[in-house]
Chains A and B, each alone.
Chain A
């Protein structure tokens, strides 16, 4: 928005004052010599490969899923047919995030909600339906398990299906998530294991992948889920690396696998690409630089392949307006531009119907089309780090790095990232920022087209939100009964007993979780073990 007076202060989202133009003198001394490095040279803010998108296009990677596993399967196939180059399995929040089966009282009370935000997968049979005919061997798959307590089950289900199909796990490429920002900050579930148990799970997944799935990204920290909750770009960066050091310190403490390997695994992260194009592009550049410096300075890791931070971006869902939803096609495209200018490796564009529902088929198709247009028609991919050397962009990158490290340090002085989740300190930061953002819109200091200005009551582009299927709950309940009736009951019970024993001890939970899935233990039964052994996280917010 244009300031009322050209002399008025204009601020970046990260609370950095912006000048009306920049010159070479503005670039901080600490960053000046780094401006002259080429892409492919440390500290990598300019990217890891001199040929950038010429040699490797970003992955078109859309969050997808709803209803029954076969509904999700159909949608994923639709996206792949339309040009998606990896696939993401989205699980039903009611069941998956809480590790409940559909017959849990909390789910029964909301049965119509089941399947609205992802497919219901309570046993390996459901996961097999969802993956039917999908190219697990050649495509990069996201197995779901975004929420920490769900991750071991979701990953083991995916891998169990792969094994059954005869694939060698060591050749599979894909990613997990088990994201603390989602679980404990952005989308706090009603019930979840405490953060220390979550850290143990993620350490176990990292170790298991190191041994059995070297091409798999074991866990992926999603800055997105901090940012869309209210953290500013510098806070998104600072908290993401504060999260990363929790994992790396844990792995170092255990001492079972080389830290370099773990660091390589932790280097597949995601960020939000929001609407302030230059600041967001600078954020991606700053992230690569910070990761390289962090590994070198804190862990003495200098291996270039380890320092290669791979970034997935999702455009900001919260920037998609409810009013005049077709405007969101433009917003999606521009946020995607910020990610591409920042040199990300993977991208998902939120649907134009984001403020109303999960994406309709058409909204999903348009998210892919936006990416294809950027990739094929615009010339954005011609030159690596096209913003490099801009006085403004280099200055803002350096300022972001400095502010982000300050936030990182503040988290450390408060006991670290986990402690800041447990205490609610990060939630309070996010809440404060979003309040400020709302008040700017309320006061007229910031505009949203179609919402605070340019109203149009006669828009011919009205949409009504995607609903999906209405039989997800009934089918899931039938399948739950069927799996319990027809599985080898003693085998399933034995695997669950083993899981409980391992959860109470300190062995890696993943081998026994594989046993549970292969013995057709169900999601809710696994969740019952967690609830018994680990108890519940004391949520620092009431939501």
Chain B
């Protein structure tokens, strides 16, 4: 079976990379194909999600939640069925805003196994527990 493809992008201009890198590695180890585009604007994220024909979009969020929400809205509007999950230094109030848009959210302290489980679920490789 062709591996499922995940786009990973950072919404902000902050260069901390240990979070997204470690997550990308865990996803690759679990058999996913990960396309890392790094720091990207909303327009670049939408374009990459479509051009790369991915099954899931992962957003690393380190800045203001409104920037991330704009990217989420744009992806959901361009590809209504595209699942999105997010991680990063996201305070509780911002996690709630993302969850309200249907995202699964992984703040610091999340376990990689939970992130991989989520990716499996969101790409249809497994059903909800």
Contact = CB atoms under 8 A, between A and B. Distances in A.
19 contacts: A93-B15, A94-B12, A97-B15, A107-B13, A109-B41, A112-B63, A113-B63, A117-B14, A187-B16, A189-B15, A318-B18, A322-B107, A322-B108, A357-B89, A430-B18, A431-B18, A431-B22, A431-B25, A543-B20
Nearest to A431: B21
B18 A542 contact: no
A536 to B, nearest CB: 13
Contacts of B107: 322, 355
Nearest to A230: B18
Given A188-B15, A448-B109, A543 B91 contact: no
Contacts of A541: 17, 21
B14 A543 contact: no
B22 A462 contact: no
Interface residues of A, number: 41
B37 interface: yes
Contact of A187 (B14, B22, B43, B113): B14
Contacts of B18: 229-230, 318, 430-431, 434
Contact of A542 (B16, B36, B42, B112): B36
Interface of B: 10-18, 20-22, 25, 36-39, 41-43, 63-64, 66-67, 89, 91-94, 107-109, 111-113
Nearest to B107: A322
A386 B25 CA distance: 43
A433 to B, nearest CB: 10
A438 interface: yes
B109 A355 contact: yes
Nearest to A465: B91
A471 interface: no
Contacts of B14: 93, 113, 117, 187
A355 B89 contact: yes
A357 B67 contact: no
A443 B52 CA distance: 34
A153 B42 CA distance: 30
A94 B20 CA distance: 19
Q: In the complex, which of the residues A229, A464, A543 has the most CB atoms of chain B within 10 Å of its own CB atom?
A: A543
A110 B12 contact: yes
A190 interface: yes
Given A356-B89, A464-B92, A543-B21, A451 B109 contact: yes
Contact of A435 (B17, B22, B42, B92): B22
A188 B39 CA distance: 10
B10 to A, nearest CB: 7
A113 B13 contact: yes
A323 interface: yes
B66 A357 contact: no
Contacts of B112: 438, 442
Nearest to B44: A109
Contacts of B42: 109
The 3 closest A-B pairs by CB, nearest first: A465-B91, A543-B17, A112-B64
B109 A464 contact: no
A186 interface: yes
Contact of B63 (A116, A230, A323): A116
Interface of A: 93-94, 97-98, 106-107, 109-110, 112-113, 116-117, 186-190, 229-230, 318, 321-323, 355-357, 430-431, 434-435, 438, 441-442, 448, 451, 462, 464-465, 541-543
A469 to B, nearest CB: 12
Contacts of B21: 431, 434, 541, 543
Majority DSSP secondary structure for residues of B touching A: mixed
Contacts of A448: 109
A357 B15 contact: no
Nearest to B29: A435
Contact of A438 (B17, B22, B41, B94): B22
Nearest to A95: B13
A523 to B, nearest CB: 14
A542 B7 CA distance: 12
A189 B14 CA distance: 7
A98 to B, nearest CB: 7
Nearest to A189: B15
A186 B14 CA distance: 11
A465 B97 CA distance: 14
A93 B63 CA distance: 10
Contact of B16 (A98, A112, A186, A190): A186
A106 B22 contact: no
Given A322-B109, A355-B89, A465-B91, A187 B15 contact: yes
Contact of A357 (B20, B38, B91): B91
A106 B12 CA distance: 10
A189 B109 CA distance: 25
Nearest to A115: B64
A187 B12 CA distance: 12
Contact of A190 (B13, B20, B25, B89): B13
Contacts of A430: 18
A106 to B, nearest CB: 6
Contacts of B16: 186-187
Given A97-B13, A106-B41, A113-B64, A442 B108 contact: no
Given A438-B112, A442-B113, A543-B38, A464 B67 contact: no
B50 to A, nearest CB: 18
B15 A190 contact: yes
A116 to B, nearest CB: 6
Contacts of B22: 431, 434-435, 438
A520 to B, nearest CB: 25
A328 to B, nearest CB: 11
A355 B37 CA distance: 24
A147 to B, nearest CB: 9
Nearest to A443: B113
A187 B20 CA distance: 12
Nearest to A473: B64
A322 B43 CA distance: 31
Contacts of A188: 15, 17
A7 B67 CA distance: 52
Q: In the complex, which of the residues A117, A356, A442 has the most CB atoms of chain B within 10 Å of its own CB atom?
A: A356
